[in-house]
């Protein structure tokens, strides 16, 4: 499964994004459900929306027992004021913000919150920095870093939402050799490579694991859950 090697989202980040009391949440662009799972674990009532039928099938296979809706962010099939929070995890950069933000605002209750998060690999030094260099060599120029967090500017500039608050939550993902190679292989830009380039890249990632792990069977890959939240502003009427 696509989600097997991807990191989850830490509980302290979920609490900052959504709150500690039970809330109705639309997890938009839910993908294979990493944030959906974290939201459920934190006690929230969640509906997951995802445009890709293949990703919805993966999410369903996780058995999370939440309503699943096939829908893009730009045309949401929900009544106005349906949710306390709309979350987007490592996906907002794929949206047409000019269309998606009015849709998100419409389905939020008055004073509701838009909450965005990206899992950012920490690449300050050591083998994690080498991993970043390997992956960036295969990465299309259209993304900023691996994550395109600059897309949050669309929220900051929107008249529909209030000031953006930001916070970072460091955590680590423990990976064995297959897990690290699988994590690299799951990147969309790696999937898009020719079979020869993809094989060479993944072989390099495997050698990097061997060097980093030494006698250990696992490594800890450092991340930060980079979060933003903004309240829906009251509209006319």
Which pLDDT score, from 0 to 100, does residue 142 have?
47
The CA–CA distances, whole Å, from 179 to 12, 154, 174 equal 24, 34, 9
Q: Are 91 and 48 in contact (CB under 8 A)?
A: no
Domain ranges of the chain: 2-231
Q: What is the pLDDT of residue 188?
A: 77
What pLDDT is attached to residue 96?
A: 95
Q: How many residues does the chain have?
A: 237
Report the CATH superfamily, name and number, of domain 2-231: Vaccinia Virus protein VP39 (3.40.50.150)
Mean pLDDT per 10-residue segment, the chain (237 residues)? 75 97 97 94 97 91 92 97 96 94 97 95 86 82 57 94 96 93 87 92 95 89 95 75
Residue 191, pLDDT score: 86
């Amino acid at each position: 499964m696509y989600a097997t090697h991807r990191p989850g989202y830490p509980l302290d980040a979920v609490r900052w994004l959504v709150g500690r009391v039970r809330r109705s949440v639309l997890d938009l662009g839910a993908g294979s459900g990493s944030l959906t799972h974290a939201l459920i674990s934190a006690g929230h009532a969640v509906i997951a929306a995802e445009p890709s039928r293949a990703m919805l099938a993966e999410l369903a296979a996780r058995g999370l027992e939440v309503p699943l809706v096939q829908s893009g962010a730009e045309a949401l099939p929900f009544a106005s004021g349906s949710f306390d929070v709309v979350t987007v995890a490592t996906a907002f950069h794929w949206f047409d913000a000019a269309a998606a933000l009015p849709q998100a605002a419409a389905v939020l209750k008055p004073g509701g919150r838009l909450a965005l998060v990206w899992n950012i690999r920490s690449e300050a030094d050591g083998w994690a920095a080498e991993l970043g260099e390997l992956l960036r060599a295969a990465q299309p120029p259209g993304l900023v870093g691996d994550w395109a967090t600059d897309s949050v500017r669309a929220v900051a500039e929107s008249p529909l939402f209030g000031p953006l608050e930001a916070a970072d939550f460091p955590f680590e993902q423990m990976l064995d050799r297959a897990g690290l190679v699988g994590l690299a292989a799951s990147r969309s830009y790696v999937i898009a490579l020719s079979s020869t380039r993809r094989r060479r890249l993944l072989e390099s990632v495997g050698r990097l694991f061997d060097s980093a792990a030494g006698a250990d069977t696992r490594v800890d890959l450092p991340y930060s859950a980079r979060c933003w939240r903004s309240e829906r502003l009251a509209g006319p009427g």
